[in-house]
Chains A and B, each alone.
Chain A
Amino acid sequence: MNIIVCIKQTFDTEAKISLENGAVKEDGVQFILNPYDEYAVEEALKIKEEQGGEVTVVTVGPARVEEAIRTALAMGADEAIHIEDEAAYGDEYTIAEVLAAAIRQKSYDLILAGNQAVDDGSGQVAVRLAQLLDIAHISTITKLEIHGTQVVAERDAEGDTEIAEASLPVLVTAQQGLNEPRYPSLIGIRKASKKPLTKLTLADLGLSADAVGRKVTPVEVFLPAAKGAGRILEGDTAMRVQELVRELRQTSKVL
């Protein structure tokens, strides 16, 4: 079984976000492997342990993302592909096109990815990728079973569980609850630095910067307004209701 896992390096979920020149400031921020992608890596490793095969992780990003790659390799992935090219860091469209080009060069039975990244939370890349590769996808899964080429997954459907079937090759995205990711082991850390890591550029993938240029441009990046102090309404019930309705209409404009 050839398994590909798409990963992304994201900010630590504990990180304090600050802005500089209209962009999120990266200085002094800890980076981690996106937690949803950690579920995807874990699931790939479990399948490999049960059924044999190879696990390849693929990511797009600047040199710093290599740390996330090493984490996945230390957990037990076999090899990695790192697309490092300024022109590849566009929007979800760009990343999906670049990943598709890289993955088309490989043979694969199963592609795993996180349901979303904890930074921008768009949840688009993996699904777009399945579309580009013209394979089925099952998103936000909490359970995965593979028998031969038959795939049965349970997916989180707004609080209910939906059971979806597909046949390989298929792309699935991991939701919280799918598994409990292992820690990398120390032996894994030691071996990670010796595992094959292929660096690619857009040129290596036969892509031109123009063809994969971003379709969406952020107009403005801003932090949410600081949360103000609460206000306790005073007076009798009628007065408080009146005041509450006025607040909802005029201040928060929800009515």
Chain B
Amino acid sequence: MNFTLTEEQEALRKLVRDFAMKEVAPSAAQRDEEEVFDRAIFNKMGRIGLTGIPWPEEYGGAGLDFVSYVIAVEELSRVCASTGVTLSAHLSLASWPIFKFGTEEQKQKYLRPLALGEKLGAYGLTEPSAGTDAASLRTTAVRDGDEYILNGTKMFTTNGGEADIYVVFATTDASKKAKGVTAFIVEKGMPGFTFGKKEKKMGIRSSPTVELIFDQCRVPMANVLGEEGQGFKIAMMTLDGGRNGIAAQALGIASGALDAALEYAKTRTQFNRPITDFQAIQFKLADMAKQVEAARLLTYQAAWLEDNQLPYGKASAMAKVFASDAAMYVTTEAVQIHGGYGFTRDYAVERFMRDAKITQIYEGTNEVQRIVIAGHVLKD
């Protein structure tokens, strides 16, 4: 057992922390306030290689591992959870299934520009009436010659509208339920593919969450990802790993909130003493620190399992539930330590607390994660 990061992983953390402080943090509060996505930040992430961390160099990646990837999402989320989820959705949800199930041609055409950060990716599974029950999709794909015609609506798509490449799930045979789902790679600009409502959200407000509308959208057969009918499996396997990206995002939010609370508590004085002299504050900080540390270990472990080609579904579900609950707890306590100031938008902990909530909901609610964990525990 070895809990030490490699020299490369340490260098990556330092780089991403420096990048996050200089390029992401300064505009985070304003982007949140104005609910704007800044593509320039994503482009800069592409230039240093963050957009393709675990993919081999032949596909435009940096050739690093998944531990490096979760460290990067953690460090970005420490200052801006919206930027963290932009990367997580781009890499775990859009790029991963293309890397895993794409043909060589699809990898060169789609994975490569995604990895280089020239293109931004998104993932369209959720529908108005198919959230947790993902097999009951209503978006249809009907074969017509060398093409499929897609019709339907996807909602809550992270990076939606801004992304160039979408991995979209539609049913090619509704009678087969889950086994009738097929995955497609759809490009922004394909006729019949438009964007609908942009959600007004509580948190992660500089990450766009948008409706995708398919109206007689023709997608070439060459854009089927995997095989016809394999879509549900692809969707679920993608979420298995994707949820560890969310664990990393939650971990980053919690870690950022803990740091902010520590800094505030050290400088805030009441009754002529810094409030860190009071045991009530010390106990809060101790509990927050242990939650952050445990979340980190679970998240890194799940990534390590994936790097070592070991089963990671259970570990990533545990990491996701634990880290997101930790994020909600730590950010709430961070606001509490800040007192009235923490409730104002002048302090980052207010944003962190709003950002934390979604991590308990998306990429499989924490209730679903518990079903996944229970399934593993009962089977093992």
Given A70-B7, A193-B7: A187 in contact with B63 (beta carbons within 8 A): yes
Report if B57 contacts A (CB, 8 A): yes
- Hey, what's the 0/1 contact readout for A15-29 against B, CB within 8 Å counting as 1? 000000000000000
* 3 nearest A-B residue pairs (beta carbon): A186-B49, A186-B62, A189-B11
Cross-chain contact B48 with A186 (CB below 8 angstroms): yes
Nearest A residue to B17 via CB reads A30
Chain B positions within 8 Å of A, measured between CB atoms, are: 7-8, 11-12, 15, 18-19, 47-50, 53, 57, 62-64, 68
Number of A-B contacts (CB under 8 A): 43
Report if A7 contacts B (CB, 8 A): no
Q: How far is the CA of A42 from the CA of B67 in the complex (A)?
A: 29
Cross-chain contact A185 with B62 (CB below 8 angstroms): yes
Chain B residues with CB under 8 A of A70: 7, 11
Which residue of the partner chain, among B7, B18, B64, contacts A186 with CB atoms under 8 Å? B64
Chain A positions within 8 Å of B, measured between CB atoms, are: 67, 70-71, 74, 183-187, 189-190, 192-193
Cross-chain contact B62 with A193 (CB below 8 angstroms): no
Q: How far is the CA of A187 from the CA of B64 in the complex (A)?
A: 8
Cross-chain contact A184 with B64 (CB below 8 angstroms): no
The minimal Cβ–Cβ distance linking B24 to chain A, given in whole angstroms, is 12
Cross-chain contact B19 with A186 (CB below 8 angstroms): no
Which residue of the partner chain, among A183, A185, A187, A190, contacts B18 with CB atoms under 8 Å? A183
Chain A residues with CB under 8 A of B62: 185-187, 190
The minimal Cβ–Cβ distance linking B4 to chain A, given in whole angstroms, is 15
The minimal Cβ–Cβ distance linking B278 to chain A, given in whole angstroms, is 23
Chain B residues with CB under 8 A of A185: 47-49, 62
The minimal Cβ–Cβ distance linking B207 to chain A, given in whole angstroms, is 22
Cross-chain contact A186 with B47 (CB below 8 angstroms): no
Chain A residues with CB under 8 A of B11: 67, 70-71, 74, 184, 189, 192
Q: How far is the CA of A90 from the CA of B57 in the complex (A)?
A: 44
Nearest B residue to A67 via CB reads B11
Q: How far is the CA of A67 from the CA of B48 in the complex (A)?
A: 19
Chain A residues with CB under 8 A of B18: 183
Cross-chain contact B63 with A189 (CB below 8 angstroms): no
Chain B residues with CB under 8 A of A183: 15, 18-19, 47-48
